[in-house]
Amino acid sequence: MLTTLKKDIHTAIAGLYDHRIDDGQLLISPTKKEFEGEYTFVVFPLVKAIKKKPEEIGQELGERIQAESNLVTGYNVVKGFLNLSLSKRYWLQTLSELTVKCGQAPIQNGKTLMVEFCSPNTNKPIHLGHIRNILLGWSMAQIGEANGYKVVKTQVVNDRGIAVCKSMLSWKESADGATPESQGIKGDHFVGKYYVAFEQLFQSEYKAWQSTEKGQAIYKSLSKDGDLEETFFKSYKNKYFNEHSKIGKRTKDMLLQWEAGDPETLALWKQLNDWVYEGFDKTFDALGIDFDVVNYESETYILGKEFVQQGLQDKIFYQKEDSSVWVDLEDAKMDQKLVLRSDGTAVYVTQDLGTAHMRYAKYKMDKLVYVVADEQDYHFKVLFEILKRLGEPYADNLYHLSYGMVDLPTGKMKSREGTVVDADELIEEVISEARNASQERGGLEGLTDAERTDVFRKIGMAALKYFIIKVNPKKRMTFDPKESVDMQGQTGPYIQNAYVRIRSILRRVSERPDYDLNNYKQELQEIEKELIVLLTSYEAMLGEAMNKYDPSLVANYCYALAKAYHRFYHDCRILNAEQEETRGFRLALSELVAERLSAAMKLLGIEMPEYM
């Protein structure tokens, strides 16, 4: 219906001025509340071509459209804004079109979208930062599906390397055979404990070394003047680990054994990782997410080396005397970048090159989205540039969905200071907060315990997820645990509540009222029109969320729709409306809102309860 309106505007412009504009330039938006009308056409863009005053064009156009289009019943012009009032026929027709469309599954576009997200390390449990990542990745996958893509959700687990060896060594030397079962701890937390223990041990070793003769000698010879001892040793940490530390030496030995395929080391590695995955799976379950394909870095870290040969041949890469391989990206305003170490092993970019290639060979995806924090912006710029130079056919279809870090009101999350917010704890907390709030409120008397638990879970998770996903991804956000469990105002539960109210009404309807949309005699309320406008904009919003890779648009849409519905609910009687046909109309409208709310929230990974 909206497209018909646009067509009418086109016709009027063509008829009056013999001028055509393309659809993209035809700017039509919902009218601001202060003005009369429902849709506004901005005439300024026409001024140049037509060479008349904006007001004049507005008047002429308005008159013409009102005369010619049976959708427009009135107009007014303010400055260069032409506000149109639409006919009852428009609203009713739109509503019935929406009703028809609502039940239909999204049309497939035959394209494949791959989303990489989450990608944890196996030495630490999932934390708040991962949650933002996971919610973004999951939502993008859902939004992709809603836009007709076949979607492949994937993650690369960082299951190898020096960091993993740290927890392995720590467990081996101090656990005395303890297991998650014997300690009654979730597997990922169990392993994480040994990683922390390693770091503590290493720190105390390092601290002691700093005051030895050797440590002091190094400080004196290497520090620049003015460098405090503390600052110097902070930056020397990696070097110490690699060159002087005893525990560091043992860790590196373990990595060598791992790489050599030593059976005992591999068995230990596998055991610890299995524990971690068991723990991760529980967290993923609680978050309501899953993956289609899981890659492990222990498998992908060897990939990408064939590119080095090819790149050398094509003179895209060059080799230094020590046989390390580099790429020069300075003409693209980047640096010289290492792609292969002098010992012939791969680095981070090499792996990513290889993984991208492998994925394309396997899935032929039309789009690949990497959900990774913005601290890696530069890495992805480099990665994409290299793939382009190598002539990879998919190089232009890659996107780095870069998101800002999550801060706490007290500042940054730092694992060393123990300020990292653990995902499992957080989930438990929001759910119990939902339970408290609900019990204070009452009203779930008819439900079984299991049903009630399910409601609390849905409400708590909605509060948490909505709080995070409503923020524009590229912005750094502040996570206040107190606010994250809020259930009033712009929150997940507020939106759920609108849905629950509708479901509650629908449960009371025994017989659908008899009414005919084509023959509806009642006047429409402003708020009813507003709801229809919002429902109409759903599709455009979906497309925009996809194009901009921004799930927060969906979140904001849900809030706007729920807010409008709450007002409608307050202002208009639905079940006991004055007229039978009003009852029918409002029920249909409500049902449509419920379906849209539920569908849109599902895109964010948020479930709707039937009661609350």
Within residues 462-491, the interface with RNA by CB under 7 A covers 470-472, 474-478, 480, 483, 486-491
Q: Toward RNA, which CB reaches closer, 61 or 500?
A: 500
Interatomic CA distance for residues 541 and 538, integer angstroms: 5
Residue 99 · residue 588 · CB < 8 Å: yes
- One-letter amino acid at 116 equals E
Question: Using the rule CB under 7 A, which residue among 75, 90, 171, 494 binds RNA?
Answer: 494
In the window 96-155, what residues touch RNA (CB under 7 A)? none
Interaction between residue 575 and RNA (CB under 7 A): yes
Does 213 sit near RNA (CB under 7 A)?
no
What is the number of alpha carbons within 13 Å of residue 446 lying toward its C-beta? 3
By the rule CB under 7 A, 341 interacts with RNA = yes
| Contact (Cβ atoms closer than 8 angstroms) between residue 612 and residue 438 | yes
Return the range that interacts with RNA (CB under 7 A); candidates 8-16, 24-32, 63-71, 101-109. 24-32
Instruction: Considering only CA atoms, give the Rg of the chain.
Output: 30
The interface mask with RNA, positions 495-534, x = CB under 7 A, is: --x--xx-xxx--x--------------------------
**Secondary structure of residue 135 in the 3-state scheme:** helix
Amino acid at the residue 374: D
Q: What is the smallest separation between the CB atom of 140 and RNA, expressed in angstroms?
A: 15
Question: Is residue 115 within 8 Å of 152, Cβ to Cβ?
Answer: yes
Q: Which of 122, 167, 170, 552 binds RNA (CB under 7 A)?
A: 552
DSSP 8-state assignment for residue 416:
G
Q: Could you say whether residue 347 binds RNA (CB under 7 A)? A: yes
Distance (Å, whole) CA 403 – CA 477: 9
Asked if residues 331 and 389 have their Cβ atoms less than 8 Å apart, the reply is no
Instruction: Identify which of 220, 219, 164, 142 has the alpha carbon closest to the alpha carbon of residue 545.
Output: 142
Span interacting with RNA, options 59-67, 147-155, 191-199, 568-576, rule CB under 7 A: 568-576
User: Smallest Cα–Cα separation from 434: which of 607, 188, 560?
Assistant: 607
Q: How far apart are CA 34 and CA 303, in angstroms?
A: 60
Q: Where does this chain touch RNA (CB under 7 A) — which range of 133-141, 182-190, 375-383, 511-519? A: 375-383
- Report, in Å, the least distance between residue 478 CB and RNA: 4
547 counts as binding RNA under rule CB under 7 A: yes
Sign of the torsion formed by the C-alpha atoms of 13, 540, 537 and 559: negative
What residues contact 22, with CB distance under 8 A and at least 6 apart? none
By CB under 7 A, residue 52 contacts RNA: no
Task: Identify the residue among 168, 369, 371, 459 touching RNA (CB under 7 A).
Answer: 459
Residue (134 or 562) nearer to RNA, CB: 562
Smallest separation (angstroms) from RNA to the CB of 569: 5
Residue number with CB closer to RNA (309 or 323): 323
Q: Which is nearer to RNA, 282 or 379 (CB)?
A: 379
Judged by CB under 7 A, the chain residues 170 through 209 that form the site for RNA are none
Site for RNA in 229-248 (CB under 7 A): 238
Evaluate whether 85 touches 35 at the Cβ level (below 8 Å).
no
- Per CB under 7 A, the list member of 376, 397, 522, 525 interacting with RNA is 376
Burial of 490: CB neighbours in 10 Å, binned 0-12, 13-18, 19+? middle
Query: Binding of RNA at residue 438 (CB under 7 A)?
Result: yes
Using CB under 7 A as the binding rule, whether residue 34 contacts RNA is answered as yes
Q: Does 355 bind RNA (CB under 7 A)?
A: no
Angle formed at CA 424 by CA 421 and CA 429, multiple of 5 degrees: 80
Q: Which stretch binds RNA (CB under 7 A): 222-230, 311-319, 377-385, 393-401?
A: 377-385
Closest separation in Å from C-beta 548 to RNA:
5
Asked if 79 interacts with RNA (CB under 7 A), we say: yes
Binding-site member from 44, 208, 285, 309 for RNA (CB under 7 A): 44
Name which of 173 and 374 has its Cβ closer to RNA: 374
Q: Which stretch binds RNA (CB under 7 A): 74-82, 88-96, 173-181, 357-365?
A: 74-82
Is 95 or 500 the residue whose CB approaches RNA more closely?
500
* Interatomic CA distance for residues 330 and 258, integer angstroms: 37
Residue 224 makes CB contacts below 8 A (sequence gap 6+) with: none
In the complex with RNA, the residue whose CB is nearer, 95 or 430, is 430
* Pair of tokens at residue 48: 């140049």
Does position 14 interact with RNA (CB under 7 A)? The reply is no
Decide: helix, strand or coil at residue 128.
helix
Our CB check for RNA shows the closer of 470 and 596 to be: 470
Q: Which long-range contacts (CB under 8 A, 24 or more apart) does 92-98 make?
A: 92/517, 92/518, 92/520, 93/1, 93/517, 94/1, 94/2, 94/532, 94/536, 95/517, 95/532, 95/535, 95/585, 95/588, 95/589, 95/592, 96/517, 97/1, 98/532, 98/535, 98/536, 98/592
Is residue 302 part of the contact set for RNA (CB under 7 A)?
no
Should residue 81 be labelled a site residue for RNA when binding is judged by CB under 7 A?
yes
Sole binder of RNA in the list 194, 236, 275, 301 (CB under 7 A): 301
Three-state SS for 460? helix
